[in-house]
Amino acid sequence: MIEQTSAFCCPICGKALWKEAKSLRCAMGHCYDYAKSGYVNLLMSQQGGLHGDDRPMVRARTAFLSAGHYRPLLDLMYSVLRDRLPRAPHIMDAGCGEGWYTQVIHELLCRDGYLPETVGVDISRDALAAAAKRKFGAEFAVASLFHIPLSNHWADLIVNVFAPDCMDEYFRVLSPGGYLLKVIPREDHLLELKQAVYDSVYENEISLPEHDGFSLLSNTVLRKKLCLTDNETIKNLFAMTPYGRKTSPADLAKLENLTELETTISFSVLLYQKV
Ligand SMILES: [Zn+2]
């Protein structure tokens, strides 16, 4: 039997983790079982108060993303990064959720002759159960982005779509000259969707992450209209947003009979390099 190492390292002692039939184990004997779906839980117990997307949110996200509504965003992300990576890049999707971006980027790189080693990290077990079931050769771990179970300088690329800016950890995990590809919503992202639900609507505030160890190489804006033509898709999109959990039943009810919506989608795709 050939022993294989995991890309992840032990969150307790930092040593390499070896793949066993049902778990990952380090030389110190710390052991982490795979969940049935195939992800591993590397979250330290003292970080257990955090939570992420629950199952209905994960389902909404998977349905919406796999229908291709955000494919133009993904294609832009890919065009920004693809010629910059080494032949066998190490990639971490930080806050990977249910894994759609993780999988499509991994598969586009394989198509173009790269040999990516890809991992996804998220705080939500429900999201990672969905991600791990995609079975495209990536490893997924439940962990905090403030305590990433990867060794120093492991990653050539960190992908971060709407996820927290843990810049000190990203700096530690990235190789010298490595890239952080970050997507943030712009002021007018989903403006018409919000107008359909709320009486008064504010534009999103934009703040670009800053860190002395990174230089911003490019900021590419994608803005387009999305035409949604069925109620389920509209509700799925709303459920994906941060508003999904914070909206009153009266406001949520306004979505019930909405069968058509044209809404703006608007993103900044930011490429940082570790300097
Ligand atoms: Zn250990």
pLDDT in tens, 146-192: 999 999 999 999 999 999 999 999 999 999 999 999 999 999 999 99
Least confident of 48-62, 137-151, 199-213: 48-62
Going from the Cα of 169 to the center of ligand 1, the distance in angstroms, rounded, reads 19
**Ligand 1 centre and the CA of 16: distance in Å?**
8
Average pLDDT over every residue of 237-249: 87
Flag whether 258 is in a domain. Answer: no
> Contact, 173 vs 150, CB < 8 A?
yes
Residue 269: which CATH number? 3.40.50.150
| Digit-coded pLDDT (tens) for 14-49 | 999 999 999 999 999 999 999 999 999 999 865 555
In a domain, 2, yes or no: yes
What pLDDT score does 203 carry?
A: 87
Residue-wise pLDDT for 101-114, tens only, equals 999 999 999 999 99
Query: Given this model, what pLDDT does residue 258 score?
Result: 95
* Model confidence at 88: pLDDT above 80: yes
Residues 121 and 210 occupy one common structural domain: yes
Write the Ramachandran bin of 221: left for phi over 0, alpha for psi from -120 to 50, otherwise beta. Answer: beta
* Ligand 1 centre distance from Cα of residue 173 (Å): 18
Indicate the DSSP class of residue 19. E
Instruction: Provide the mean pLDDT of the chain.
Output: 94
Q: What pTM did the predictor assign?
A: 0.95
Cα of 72 from ligand 1 centre, angstroms: 41
Tell how far the Cα of 25 is from the centroid of ligand 1, in angstroms: 7
User: Residue 174: helix, strand or coil by DSSP?
Assistant: strand
Quote the ligand 1 centre to 246 CA distance (angstroms).
Answer: 39
Q: Are residues 14 and 59 in the same domain?
A: no
Q: Rounded to the nearest whole angstrom, what is the distance from the C-alpha of residue 231 to the centroid of ligand 1?
A: 49
Q: How many domains does the chain have?
A: 2
Residue 248 lies in a domain: no
* Cα(29) to centroid(ligand 1), Å: 6
Is 72 part of a structural domain of the chain? Answer: yes
2 and 78 within one domain: no
Query: Residue 136 sits in which domain range?
Result: 35-189+202-223+265-274
Distance from the CA of 26 to the center of ligand 1, in angstroms?
Answer: 5
Inside any domain, residue 51: yes
Distance 21 CA to ligand 1 centre (A): 18
Residues 6+ apart with CB under 8 A from 225: 262, 263, 264, 265
Residue with tokens 């199952």: 55
Instruction: Give 103 Cα–ligand 1 centroid separation in angstroms.
Output: 29
In this prediction, residue 50 carries a pLDDT of 57
DSSP state of 154: -
**Is the per-residue pLDDT at 90 higher than 90?**
yes
Can you tell me the distance from the alpha carbon of 97 to that of 129, in angstroms, rounded to the nearest whole number? 9
